Amino acid sequence: MNQENNNEIEELSELQELVPEESNAIELIGKDSADEKGFLLENPCTKGWLQSFEAHSMPWILLDRKLNLLWRNRAHEALYPDFRPGDNFIAYFYKYLGEEEISKIYRSLRSKEQGFSYQGRLEYKTVERAKIIANITLSPLFLEVMGKEEPVGFACHFDDVTSDIQNILRQTFKSLLEASKLKDNDTGNHIERVNAYSSLLAEYLFRKHSFPQIDQDFINDIGFLAAMHDVGKIGTPDDILNKKGPLEPWEWDIMKEHTKNGAFLLSTYPNPMAKEIALAHHEKWDGTGYPYGLAEEMIPLSARIVAVSDVYDALRSKRSYKEPISHEGAMNILKKGIGTHFDPRIGEAALQVQKNFEDIYSRLADP
């Protein structure tokens, strides 16, 4: 067991002292249960249970009364491959549950009134893997042979609700996006392409370990939320949005408001990345962008990535006020903007994966 786990266990012991004793309290930690462990796994009742749940589609585990993992089925192994027999449930999921929830688990599992059981939600996330959201239920096991009124272990199942929850969240964004599409003159597949360049850049930067903020969730999120960058144009007058030829200074001032309007619209949405992108995708690395003239690291990373994607695609595309530019031409302009318009690490990354940029533009070309 590594140092980090040891520290966690120590913290757990301290934490457990905080949990009030209850009339039917059982010891969950700090007692040797080696005999019970063998007994639990070998007992005919448990054995039959283990066999029938081995290939069950839902992840199931069996814990001893100290919440050490005794057994898990294949579905659980696939979902949490690093949680191995012998590991302690609380120590393993400690940082994802939080102290308050852990106290609740202890209280519930020690309480006869609550049926020695617990129900809650676990959001598990590592740098390498995307977040897994699961509803978990811990239920007590009573073996009459042992003659105890207390659980001798716990069965726990995990209901993976990640995709359900993400679909609900995405649906809330989609309706706003659809509304904004009716209005914006950036027609065709612009937003799909900006999503694709942005997740490509994020993936590349993740593999290069360029930014510690980038993990699998960041890559998934930006690949969906980059599309939201111009939703604030819902509030921009049509004659400014569709004007052929350059805008007057006063018209520019109104046009620039789409960043703040977008942030306002997205401020109550569940993922803050959407708001960051809408607000800051026109900021520039040297501080000469808008709406606030933020510079360098003050600009949210997601917005710095979308800035590169959006500019490349805008250069390639025909707009009411301009003709399209070739891939090489667009990359040359991007290159000139490294260190002034764009974060150097992201601009350089775009040059490295430029073949993929070109492929995305052709694959998702406007009809």
Residue corresponding to tokens 């977040």: 131
Selected binder of Fe ion within 221, 230, 283, 343 (CB under 5 A) = 230
Task: Name which of 310 and 343 has its Cβ closer to Fe ion.
Answer: 310
Task: Name which of 64 and 230 has its Cβ closer to Fe ion.
Answer: 230
Binding mask 190-229 for Fe ion (x = CB under 5 A): ----------------------------------------
Task: Name which of 110 and 282 has its Cβ closer to Fe ion.
Answer: 282
Task: Name which of 153 and 300 has its Cβ closer to Fe ion.
Answer: 300
CB 187, min distance to Fe ion, A = 11
Q: Does 310 bind Fe ion (CB under 5 A)?
A: yes
CB 19, min distance to Fe ion, A = 52
Task: Name which of 64 and 310 has its Cβ closer to Fe ion.
Answer: 310
Q: With CB under 5 A, what is the number of residues at the site for Fe ion?
A: 2
Only one of the segments 169-177, 230-238, 294-302, 339-347 lies at the binding site for Fe ion (rule: CB under 5 A); that segment is 230-238
Cα–Cα dist 139/99, whole Å:
21
Parallel/antiparallel/unpaired status of strands 118-124 and 132-141: antiparallel
CB 243, min distance to Fe ion, A = 15
Residue type, 212: P
Contacts of 103 (CB under 8 A, 6+ apart): 15, 18, 19
Task: Name which of 8 and 310 has its Cβ closer to Fe ion.
Answer: 310
Task: Name which of 87 and 310 has its Cβ closer to Fe ion.
Answer: 310
Q: Does 276 bind Fe ion (CB under 5 A)?
A: no
- Strand order across the beta sheet in which 60-64 lies: 69-72, 60-64, 153-160, 132-141, 118-124
CB 350, min distance to Fe ion, A = 16
**Sites for Fe ion among residues 78-137 (CB under 5 A):** none
Cα–Cα dist 331/358, whole Å:
10
CB 225, min distance to Fe ion, A = 13
Q: Which long-range contacts (CB under 8 A, 24 or more apart) does 177-181 make?
A: 177/227, 177/228, 177/231, 179/234, 180/230, 180/231, 180/233, 180/234
CB 110, min distance to Fe ion, A = 55
Contacts of 185 (CB under 8 A, 6+ apart): 241, 242, 319, 320
φ and ψ at residue 231, rounded to 5 degrees: -60, -25
CB 281, min distance to Fe ion, A = 6
Give burial (CB, 10 Å; 0-12/13-18/19+) of 346: buried
Comparing CA positions, the residue from 66, 138, 132 lying closest to residue 96 is 132
**Residue ranges that bind Fe ion, judged by CB under 5 A:** 230, 310
